[in-house]
Amino acid sequence: MIRILACLVILSTGLFGYANKNELKPFHIKWIVPIAKKIPCLESIIKAPNTVQGCIPWDLKERVGVAYDALAGLVYTGGSDGKLHVFYAENGKLKTSISLDGKLIARPIIDKEQMYLGTSQGFLLSVNLKDLSFAWKTRLDSEIQESFTLNNNTLYVVTGLLTIYAIDSKNGAIKWVKKRGSPSGLFLRKLSSPLLYNGILAIGSPFGYLEFYDAGFGNIINRIMVSNATEPFLDVAATPVLSGANVIAASFNKGIVALNSKSAAQEWLVQELEISQLLAYEDTVFAAGAKKIIALDGKSGKILWRFLFDTGSPTMLLVKDGMLIFGSDKDSLFVLDRQSGKPLEYIGSNLGFSSDIVIYKENLFTVSSVGYLYRLSTDFKGRVHKEH
């Protein structure tokens, strides 16, 4: 009975809020399904849960990789149970699950008939989409928790030990490896993924640098300090982005910096601290950190608008049409007007969203922190879920 009540609390909190009847919401919920059979128990708020009965902690935070195969109409997601789950996109029904060597946290990449996965035990996998068999499996030196990049049959991957790998996507062979050491003192768990442009990999480091490597051979080209070296949390944890002729990076303890992509000269600096996510879209740069997101002019660095949310850290940022979409790991999935920062919709109030977001045409897929896979759609205009 306790577990049933807990489930009702989760779902009612996620679906409903304080409606503003005068506004239309851009998304509506097609379906919500649990990615694993176990659900949080009310009793786990005050004592350890009874795992024998299939109960898991109330404070579970699912951060899983999500991918969508539009041709097959299937959604792929990881889970804290160490499996790859496959759902039908049309109705949310589970098709199958297969066991992995570790948890799927990083966002998978689908390329034609292959899907590439990285796990918490440091395995990089190539999966045949036709039958979910493994084409190859390569063991790296540590966990893979950040998104990776595929270009010209090469996968560029960063592990939890900061190592950069270039992997042949056809057979899993290691083309080159770059060890970057381990930071001392205080640093963040989040790591920058590589930005690939013009044959160059740009990547932030916990040592306070924005580093540039030759994508073909892994040789370092440049290494620029963009943090306050005498202060803690030097991390350049947000994945850099390209905006016009500038590479944009974010130092956790100094701010957002624009460097000329050719000369590496600093074009502007905005002292907005604790940024962990960046997105460049047209002439605008969006930067998000704990309880905040701002929009900046990509050419000048001028702040265009600022939006604050109640709690938590942001997921990846996405733009669809005129909307900016992101989640908070302790709050809602937010939909903002891209131009003004005005909130258009909040989904799953206080549930938290720690996983990446996948958008294809009118569909959006993501997983809440308590382990529910959402399919949202813009093919219907309804009412907002909550005012803020």
Per-residue pLDDT of 34-82, as tens digits, reads 987 655 554 444 444 454 455 555 556 788 999 999 999 999 999 888 9
Which pLDDT does position 81 carry in this prediction? 87
DSSP, collapsed to helix, strand or coil, labels residue 132 as: coil
Encode pLDDT of 218-235 as tens digits.
Answer: 999 999 999 999 998 899
What is the percent of the chain with per-residue pLDDT over 90, rounded to a whole number? 76
Closest CA relative to residue 85, chosen from 71, 65, 101: 65
Average pLDDT of 160-164? 94
Instruction: Identify the band that residue 313 occupies on the pLDDT scale cut at 50, 70 and 90.
Output: very high
Instruction: Please provide the average confidence, as pLDDT, over all residues in the chain.
Output: 87
pLDDT exceeds cutoff 60 at 180: yes
Which pLDDT does position 78 carry in this prediction? 93
Distances (CA, A) of 260 to 19, 40, 206, 267: 46, 49, 22, 6
Which pLDDT does position 379 carry in this prediction? 84
Distances (CA, A) of 71 to 126, 129, 335: 18, 11, 27
Instruction: Identify the band that residue 284 occupies on the pLDDT scale cut at 50, 70 and 90.
Output: very high
Distances (CA, A) of 147 to 183, 279, 285, 346: 21, 14, 20, 25
Average pLDDT of 318-323? 95
Instruction: Identify the band that residue 101 occupies on the pLDDT scale cut at 50, 70 and 90.
Output: very high
Mean pLDDT lowest for which of 123-127, 230-234, 255-259, 268-272?
230-234
Tokens coding 62: 């699912």
Which pLDDT does position 4 carry in this prediction? 34
For 334-365, letters b (16+ CB in 10 Å) and e give bbbebeebebbbbbbbbbbbbbbbbbeeebbb
Encode pLDDT of 340-387 as tens digits.
Answer: 999 999 998 677 998 989 999 999 999 998 889 999 999 865 444 444
Instruction: Identify the band that residue 185 occupies on the pLDDT scale cut at 50, 70 and 90.
Output: low
Average pLDDT of 86-92? 97
Average pLDDT of 306-329? 95
pLDDT exceeds cutoff 90 at 293: yes
Which pLDDT does position 46 carry in this prediction? 45
Which pLDDT does position 1 carry in this prediction? 36
Q: How far is CA 106 from the centre of its chain?
A: 8
For 25-61, letters b (16+ CB in 10 Å) and e give bbbbbbbbbbbbebbbbbbbeeeebeeeeebbebebe
